[in-house]
Amino acid sequence: MTVQAERTAGSAAPVPAAEPGEAVALPSPLAAGARWPRLEALAYGADYNPEQWPQEVWAEDVELMREAGVNLVSLGIFAWALIEPEQGVYDFGWLDRVIGLLHEAGIAVDLATPTASAPAWFLAAYPHVRPVTRDGVVLGGSSRQTYCPHAPEYRAACANVTGQLAARYADHPAMVMWHVHNEYGAPVSECYCPVSAAAFRDWLRTRYGTLDALNAAWTTAFWGQHYTAWEQIDAPRRTPMADVNPTHRLDFHRFTSDSLLELYTAERDVIRAHTARVGRADVPVTTNFQLINCKALDLWTWAREVDLAANDHYLAAELPDNHIELALCADLTRSMRGGAPWLLMEHSTGAVSWQPRNVAKRPGEMRRNSLAHVARGADGAMFFQWRASRGGGEKFHSAMLPHTGTESRIWREVVALGAQLAALRELQGSATAADTVVLWDWESWWALGQAFRPSVDLDFKERQLAYYEQLWRAHVTTDFAHPSADLSAYKLVVVPQTYLMTTAWADNLRRYVEGGGTLVVSYFSGIVDEDDSIHLGGYPGALRDLLGIRVEEFLPLRSDWTLSLTGSTAGTATVWAEDVELRGASAAFFYADGPAAGKPAVTRHAYGAGHAWYVSTRPDPATLREILRAAAADAGVTFDTGTPDTLETVRRVSADGVSYLFAINHGATDVTVPASGVDLLTGESFTGSTSIPAGTVRVVRLS
Ligand code: GAL
C-alpha cells in the first residue's frame, strides 16, 4: 500500500449550504494542528482480535481482509494479559507476527493500548484497584474496565505497558494510528473508593481555593451541610434522601470527566514521546468515544486532546427510524473538532449482543448506515469486529466475517461496501456543509439529571433528538456546538435544552441574535448558573430579555395530559406548560386549554437584527416542525418539506469547491431528486434529476 503525504486537520468554520449543483468555496478543514492516519483511501476495517484464534487462522484473516478491501485494523484493544502475562514480563512475539502479516498485505495498523482490560494477575496483586460504586459495591474482574481511575498502581501500570508498546512499535511502518484504551467512561466511570474521595477533595481545592467559596457554590446553608474542613467532604455516595446536594454531585461529574481525561493524556504523552523519538510524530493518537451512550465525559474538553475525533456508534434497536439518531451522533462527532474529518471507529454489520432485543440489520442497512456516517464527515467506516468470536461474552455479536463464513449475505455486503468506499476516495478531507447548529452541553445534561427536578419527564437527550429529528426530516444538516462557541457563521441556532447556562453563554447568544441570527430555545433552558443556582427574577433568568418574555411559574403536566395549541396550525402538547408573560415578544402559538389556557405557548422576539423564538412546551412532532419551519424562514435556512422524509440528503464539499450529494433512501419507494453529475458508486451520469431506488444510496459528484 502506498502512503500519501501527511494530512493535517484542524478546526473548520461551518460551511454554507448550497443548492444542488452550486459550488461552495470552503475553508479547508485540513488546517494545521491535528493529524489523520496516512491512508490512500477512506478507512475500512475493524477491531481485529487475532489473540482469540489459533495462528493458522491469521493468514486466512489477512487474505479475506484483502478480498473485502480492508485497509486498517485496530489491534490489541483488550490484550494486556497476553502482552504482559506477568508483571514486568512481556510477550510481543505474537503481536510482531500479526503486525508483520498485516503489513505484508498492505493493511495498516491502529495499535491500541490495552489498558481497558487489566489482567487477572494485576487485580489479584492490587485488589483495592477495583472500582467502588455509589452504593459501596466493589466491582469484580472476569470482565473488562475493572479499574479505579485514581489508583496510583493502575496509573503506573498503564504508563508502563503503554511505554513498552510504544517503544517497540513507534517506528513500525504498518503503524498509522494509536488507539488509546477503549471507550473511557463506558460502562463504569465513577469510583467512590477512599483514594477517589481524596482525589476529589484535591480537585475541589483547585476549583474553589477556599472552603467559603465551596460552601457558597454548593449552597451548603441548605439542610445545614456547611463544611468546616476539607476532610469532611466525601464522594457523593448514596444518601438517605433521594439525592445528595446537587452541586456536590455536579462537581463529581466534572471531576470524573477530568480524571479520566488525565488517564488518556498520560498514555497519549507516553506514546508521543516515543513517536517523536523515532521521527513519527505525525502518527495520530486518539481514543474511541461512545458519544451518545456515555454521559460521563465532557467531550468538548476531551476533543481538544485527541488528534482526530473517533466514535463508536450502535443503532438503538428499539428506536423507530433509528437512522435519525445515527445521523445526530455523526453530526455531533464531526462537530467535536470543528468539522474536521473524523473516523467511525466501530459500528456493526448486523445485530449487537448487549441490547434487550438485538434486532438484526436487513439487506442494505449496513451500507446505508456506513455511508450516512461518511456523508456526515467520517473519512472511514470501521466495525466491531473483524471475525465473529467463537466464545466469550460477545459471541452473538455480528462481525465482518460471520460464524457462517464467506457463504453469507453479510460477507457479500461487506465485500461490496469495501469496493464502494474505495470508489469514494476523492471525498477524503472534504467537509460536510451545515448552516444550522444545535447547542449541546454535557455539564447541562449532568445538572439536569439531578434529583428533585420539576418533572421526571425533563429529558435532555429526548429533547435533543426531538428537535434534531424535525430538522433532519426537513433536510437541514446541522452542526453541534458548545454554548460558548462562536456562532456567527450560522443562520439558525437551536437550543433544545440547556438548563445550566452561565451568564457568559447567555451573552454569547445575545450577541448572536443582535448580529442578525435566529435562535430557537426550548423550555427549561437558561434556568441555573454553573453552580446549579437559579438565575433570579423570573424564568428563564439567563435569557428573559433576549426572548422578550418572563415565566412566573412552571406548570408540569400529568403523564396522561394532552393540551391543545392554536397558532398557524392546530396542535397538541404534553409534559410541560408555563405561565408565559410577553415582555416584548409576540405569541405565535397559544395554549387553548390546560393550566395555561389562553396564555402564549410559543413566542417570537425581534431583538437587534435577529429573532429569538421560545417554545414553552413539548409540541407534537408536526407542530414542532411547523415552529422550526417558521424560524428557518426568519433565518433564511432552506426547510425542505417537499422531498420525502424517508430520504436523507447531505452534502460534502471539497476544499476546491467540488460538491458531493449523498442521497440515502431509507424508505420503501423510489425517490427522485434534482441533481446533475455522476454517481461515484455506480459510475452513472445524469442531468437534471435522478432516481434513488428504495433502500439504496447515491453519492453524486455534482456538476
Ligand atoms: C463497544 C466496544 C467493543 C464491543 C462493542 C460491541 O462499545 O468498544 O469492544 O464490546 O461495543 O457492540
Of all atoms in ligand 1, which is nearest to the CA of residue 186?
A: 7
pLDDT grade, residue 360 (50/70/90)? very high
Of all atoms in ligand 1, which is nearest to the CA of residue 182?
A: 8
For residue 41, pLDDT beyond 90: yes
Instruction: At 169, list the grid cell.
Output: 512499535
Mean pLDDT of 522-545: 98
657 phi/psi in degrees, rounded to 5: 90, 10
Of all atoms in ligand 1, which is nearest to the CA of residue 348?
A: 12
| Ligand 1 center to 121 CA (angstroms) | 24
For residue 92, pLDDT beyond 60: yes
Could you report the per-residue pLDDT of 181-210, keeping only the tens digit for each? 999 999 888 999 999 999 999 999 999 999
d(CA 536, CA 519): 22
pLDDT grade, residue 293 (50/70/90)? confident
For residue 402, pLDDT beyond 90: yes
Instruction: At 503, list the grid cell.
Output: 451568564
Respond yes or no: is residue 581 known to be catalytic. no
Among 73, 78, 384, 385, name the best residue to mutate to test ligand 1's pocket (greatest count of ligand atoms within 8 A of Cβ).
Answer: 384
Could you report the per-residue pLDDT of 466-520, keeping only the tens digit for each? 999 999 999 999 999 999 999 999 999 999 999 999 999 999 999 999 999 999 9
Among 180, 312, 387, name the best residue to mutate to test ligand 1's pocket (greatest count of ligand atoms within 8 A of Cβ).
Answer: 312
| Ligand 1 center to 130 CA (angstroms) | 21
DSSP 30: -
For residue 3, pLDDT beyond 70: no
Could you report the per-residue pLDDT of 63-75, keeping only the tens digit for each? 999 999 999 999 9
| Ligand 1 center to 187 CA (angstroms) | 10
| Ligand 1 center to 184 CA (angstroms) | 12
Mean of the per-residue pLDDT values of the chain? 94
Which of 629, 436, 616 has its CA nearest to residue 525?
616
Calculate the alpha carbon distances from 465 to 261, 317, 433, 616 in Å: 27, 15, 20, 17
Active-site option among 84, 183, 190, 325: 183
The CB-side HSE value for 244 (13 A sphere, CA atoms) comes to 18
For residue 90, pLDDT beyond 90: yes
Active-site option among 84, 267, 325, 346: 346
| Ligand 1 center to 385 CA (angstroms) | 9
Mean pLDDT of 373-397: 98
Residue with CA nearest ligand 1 atom 5: 384
| Ligand 1 center to 274 CA (angstroms) | 28
For residue 22, pLDDT beyond 70: no
Position with higher pLDDT, 201 vs 18: 201
Mean pLDDT of 290-297: 90
Residue with CA nearest ligand 1 atom 12: 352
Gap between the terminal Cα atoms of the chain: 31
For residue 264, pLDDT beyond 80: yes
| Residue 33 CB contacts under 8 Å (≥ 6 apart), including other chains | 8, 9, 10, 11
d(CA 128, CA 131): 8
| Ligand 1 center to 10 CA (angstroms) | 28
Pocket of ligand 1 (CB under 6 A): 182-183, 290, 312, 314, 346, 352, 384, 394, 397
| Residue 634 CB contacts under 8 Å (≥ 6 apart), including other chains | 518, 604, 610, 611, 613
d(CA 28, CA 17): 15
DSSP 51: G
Respond yes or no: is residue 325 known to be catalytic. no
pLDDT grade, residue 159 (50/70/90)? very high
Among 394, 395, 396, name the best residue to mutate to test ligand 1's pocket (greatest count of ligand atoms within 8 A of Cβ).
Answer: 394
Residue with CA nearest ligand 1 atom 11: 384
For residue 4, pLDDT beyond 80: no
Computed on alpha carbons and rounded to an integer, the radius of gyration of the chain in Å comes to: 26
One DSSP character per residue, 61-87 reads: HHHHHHHHT--EEEE-TT-HHHH-SBT
For residue 37, pLDDT beyond 90: no
| Ligand 1 center to 384 CA (angstroms) | 6
Of all atoms in ligand 1, which is nearest to the CA of residue 78?
A: 9
For a pLDDT cut of 90, what percent of the chain falls above it?
92
Could you report the per-residue pLDDT of 336-345, keeping only the tens digit for each? 999 999 999 9
Residue with CA nearest ligand 1 atom 4: 384
Among 346, 386, 395, name the best residue to mutate to test ligand 1's pocket (greatest count of ligand atoms within 8 A of Cβ).
Answer: 346
Could you report the per-residue pLDDT of 104-152, keeping only the tens digit for each? 999 999 999 999 999 999 999 999 999 999 999 999 999 999 999 999 9
Mean pLDDT of 440-446: 97
Would you state the pLDDT for residue 332? 98
Contact call for residues 69 and 422 (beta carbons, < 8 A): yes
The strand pair at 677-679 and 697-702 is best described as antiparallel
For residue 1, pLDDT beyond 50: no
For a pLDDT cut of 70, what percent of the chain falls above it?
95
b/e burial code for range 99-135 (CB count within 10 A of at least 16 → b): bebbbebebbbbbbbbbbbbbeebbeebeebbbbebe
pLDDT grade, residue 19 (50/70/90)? very low
For residue 7, pLDDT beyond 60: no
Of all atoms in ligand 1, which is nearest to the CA of residue 290?
A: 7
Q: Cβ atoms within 10 A of the Cβ of 656, count?
A: 10
pLDDT grade, residue 13 (50/70/90)? very low
| Ligand 1 center to 575 CA (angstroms) | 35
